[in-house]
Amino acid sequence: MIEPVSDVKETVRLHFSEIVNHGKIDKIKDVWAENCVIKGLQGRSFKGTRGVKKRILDFRNAVPDLKVKVSDVLAERNKVVATWEMSGTFKHDYNELKATGKKFNVRGVDVFKINKGKIQENILYLDVFNMLHQIDAI
């Protein structure tokens, strides 16, 4: 079944506004499919709602003032593309990266596949080099 365009866009908007920006982790089950996958940074994949929860909690811990401002949300059938600008202060360690206390502001794109009203797949494209440069990690 193909979701109406407005519905798939709203699913993605809820992901950014409620979960990413406001840290409402309990909403993951409402927005993400149980067997979902995030593909992206450094070739890593995060699987299932537990993986999504861990990724978001870990990154929000490293960047407590994280904000993602969504610019455009475009949809065709069950595919949604969101362009955004992310900012924050790298205050705590994240994976192999040591906290620097430096602010960053980068742009990125997420490509989502929606199934039955929930995010099934997310592919993340982020200007990692620029972010690492801004936080003095390289």
| 6: confidence class by pLDDT, cuts 50, 70, 90 | confident
| 7-54 per-position pLDDT tens digit | 999 999 999 999 999 999 999 999 999 999 999 866 788 999 999 999
What would the two tokens of residue 134 be?
């801004």
C-alpha to C-alpha distance for 10 and 128, rounded to whole angstroms: 27
pLDDT at 2 (0 to 100): 61
What would the two tokens of residue 126 be?
């982020």
| 98-137 per-position pLDDT tens digit | 999 999 999 999 999 999 999 999 999 999 999 999 999 9
C-alpha to C-alpha distance for 23 and 114, rounded to whole angstroms: 21
C-alpha to C-alpha distance for 126 and 9, rounded to whole angstroms: 20
- How many domains is the chain built from? 1
Question: Domain span at residue 119?
Answer: 5-134
What would the two tokens of residue 70 be?
């969504």
- Rounded to 10 degrees, the C-alpha dihedral 30/76/36/99 comes to -90
Give me the residues paired with residue 75 across strands: 80
Q: Which amino acid is it at 65?
A: D
Burial of 8 (0-12, 13-18, 19+ CB in 10 A): buried
Q: 0.85 exceeded by the pTM? A: yes
CATH of the domain at 110: 3.10.450.50
